[in-house]
């Protein structure tokens, strides 16, 4: 069995999506909380040396570091052969959504939430308007995609694409955004899967 440690932060949806996969797929691991208020050069080892871009999440598997949340998800799904990692066809469909997520909803929503939750005085209005327009377009795209009645984003079974796309949406009230009905119903289906846990309920150790 592989020895796995995840380094993350409880306010990070990028960490949360990886934690969800580890938990829901029953992949044994240790978790280490990284204090992101600490300057990067003061963060503890081995995180400082192994996190190539200085960010959470960092996954260390049998001594090998893996960074970038969606790359970590792909690595784990292929390793465990689950959540879309079962076949090249599902992997291909999932990969498309993961790349879309990183550039679209995984950019607009986390930054929108960050501005509203963590930036004193809020974001510059022009930045806020830019992110708002992007978020509105991204959420409309997802709502349209789910309108054909399939249960999850690739097909009727959950994949890591669902975990990646949905992660920050469980904090939508912190971003002060409304989610449309199709997306809301899909979030409920994900939350009903065995092992799922809300990001605020995740332990820090
Ligand atoms: N593209 C990266 C984004 C990761 C990211 O933005 N991490 C943030 C927390 S959500 C972070 O570590 N920020 C602290 C810092 O940059 O020092 C991924 O998907 O893993």
Please give the pLDDT value at position 119.
96
Q: Which two tokens stand for residue 87?
A: 């076949």
Residues of the chain under the 70 pLDDT cut:
205
Please give the pLDDT value at position 205.
60
Q: Is the CB of 69 under 6 A from ligand 1?
A: yes
Distance CA 129, CA 32 (A): 36
Q: Is the CB of 166 under 6 A from ligand 1?
A: no
Protein residue closest via CA to atom 5 of ligand 1: 55
44 neighbors 18 (Cβ within 8 angstroms): no
Please give the pLDDT value at position 204.
75
Distance CA 30, CA 140 (A): 37
Please give the pLDDT value at position 203.
75
Please give the pLDDT value at position 1.
82
Q: Is the CB of 56 under 6 A from ligand 1?
A: yes
Query: Which residues, 6+ apart, have CB-to-CB distance to 91 below 8 Å?
Result: 74, 77, 78, 84, 85
Atom of ligand 1 nearest to the CA of 72: 20
pTM above 0.75, yes or no: yes
Of 11, 14, 44, 115, the residue with max ligand 1 atoms within 8 A of its CB, to mutate for a pocket test, comes to 14
């Amino acid at each position: 069995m592989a020895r796995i440690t995840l380094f993350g932060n409880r306010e990070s949806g990028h960490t949360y999506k990886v934690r969800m996969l580890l938990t829901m797929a029953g992949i044994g691991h240790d978790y280490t909380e990284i204090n992101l208020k600490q300057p990067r050069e003061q963060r503890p080892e081995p995180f400082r040396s192994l996190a190539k871009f200085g960010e959470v999440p960092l996954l260390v598997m049998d001594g090998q570091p893996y960074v970038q949340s969606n790359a970590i998800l792909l690595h784990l799904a292929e390793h465990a052969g689950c959540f879309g990692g079962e076949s090249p066809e599902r992997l291909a469909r999932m990969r498309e959504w993961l790349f879309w997520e990183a550039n679209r909803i995984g950019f607009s929503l986390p930054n929108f939430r960050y501005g509203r939750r963590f930036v004193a005085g809020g974001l510059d209005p022009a930045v806020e308007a830019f992110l708002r327009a992007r978020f509105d377009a991204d959420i409309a795209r997802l709502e349209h995609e789910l309108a054909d009645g399939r249960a999850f984003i690739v097909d009727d079974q959950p994949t890591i694409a669902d975990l990646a796309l949905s992660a920050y949406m469980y904090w939508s009230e912190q971003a002060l955004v409304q989610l449309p009905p199709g997306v809301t119903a899909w979030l409920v289906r994900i939350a009903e899967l065995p092992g799922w846990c809300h990001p605020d309920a995740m332990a820090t150790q």
